[in-house]
Amino acid sequence: MPNDTVRWGATGDQVEPVDAKKDGGSNAGKPEAAEYINWLLARLAAGANLDRDENALLRLPLISSLAFEHGVGSATFARSTIGTYIDRYGVVQTAAIDEPRFEAEGYLTEGASTNLAFRSDDFNNAYWTKTQSSITPNDTTAPDGVAASADLFVESSNFALHSVNRDIATSDTTVLNTLTVFAKANMRTELALRMDSGGGAGVVAIFDLVNGVVISTDSPGDGSQESAKIRALVDGWYR
């Protein structure tokens, strides 16, 4: 995915009257809206996961919009690139520049990242090395709903390792690298994803594309694996 830089801002320092009965009879010690907004922005800047935030004077659920449920003012959002997300129906969507993304769990916030696989949407390209396998391009409907745009992985008849791979150079050993793919069961129901250093160290995870579970993980050599997970999407697709 492209670099994703998020900037937040908010306006409005007046608050609606609060019903004394609902508020326990006093607003003493409650922050004003402007103070609360500044606190909220500081948490966002620090990378906090905010799927719901509120106090007695201001409520910003962040479930499906940036709207306040009570309180006067508005939240604004900016991103310099387009961004993908998975909507509540499991369909991959693309958000325009400056458009916030809302998944089933609420507002999606991500740090900046760079896709190191330059042909990530075209496994038939010579960029990818096919071992005991081939690719049928544009064979079926992709998880974004576009017909005839997803590739089919076809194994050879040989009893051997069947794979698609690419050597990608990374120089910063302090950066966490993630391997992500959209996959759907067809000829096989299990998928293995592997990253290695070329020197024997690596990480591998095996996924069940029918039941949507992680079957196993391993870290051969001195590889270090943070986690492995699988998410169900639309029409039998998984990520």
Are the C-beta atoms of residues 239 and 182 closer than 8 Å to each other?
Answer: yes
Q: Which helix (H) or strand (E) holds 44?
A: helix 33-45
> Domain ends where: 77, 107, 137?
107
- Number of structural domains (the chain) is 2
Residue 117's CB is within 10 A of a number of other CB atoms, namely: 14
118 in any annotated domain: no
226 in any annotated domain: yes
Asked whether the predicted pLDDT for residue 189 surpasses 80, the reply is yes
93 with 167, same domain: the answer is no
Q: How confident is the model at residue 50 (pLDDT cuts 50, 70, 90)?
A: low
Q: What percent of the chain has pLDDT over 70?
A: 73
Residue 1: the pLDDT is 42
76 with 143, same domain: the answer is no
88 with 167, same domain: the answer is no
Mean pLDDT of 116-126: 93
100 with 145, same domain: the answer is no
Quick one: which of 114, 108, 158 has its CA closest to 132?
158
Higher pLDDT, 75 or 19: 75
Q: How confident is the model at residue 130 (pLDDT cuts 50, 70, 90)?
A: very high
State which residues form the domain around 103.
Answer: 6-107
140 with 232, same domain: the answer is yes
76 in any annotated domain: yes
Q: How confident is the model at residue 3 (pLDDT cuts 50, 70, 90)?
A: very low
Lowest mean pLDDT among 35-44, 73-82, 215-224: 35-44
134 with 233, same domain: the answer is yes
60 in any annotated domain: yes
Pairwise CA distance, residues 68 & 87, whole Å? 21
83 in any annotated domain: yes
Residue 13: the pLDDT is 39
93 with 138, same domain: the answer is no
Mean pLDDT of 183-206: 91
234 with 164, same domain: the answer is yes
148 with 234, same domain: the answer is yes
75 with 150, same domain: the answer is no
112 in any annotated domain: no
14 with 101, same domain: the answer is yes
1 in any annotated domain: no
Residue 226: the pLDDT is 85
Mean pLDDT of 208-227: 91
Higher pLDDT, 57 or 128: 128
> Domain ends where: 54, 77, 107?
107
> Domain ends where: 43, 77, 107?
107
92 with 155, same domain: the answer is no
113 in any annotated domain: no
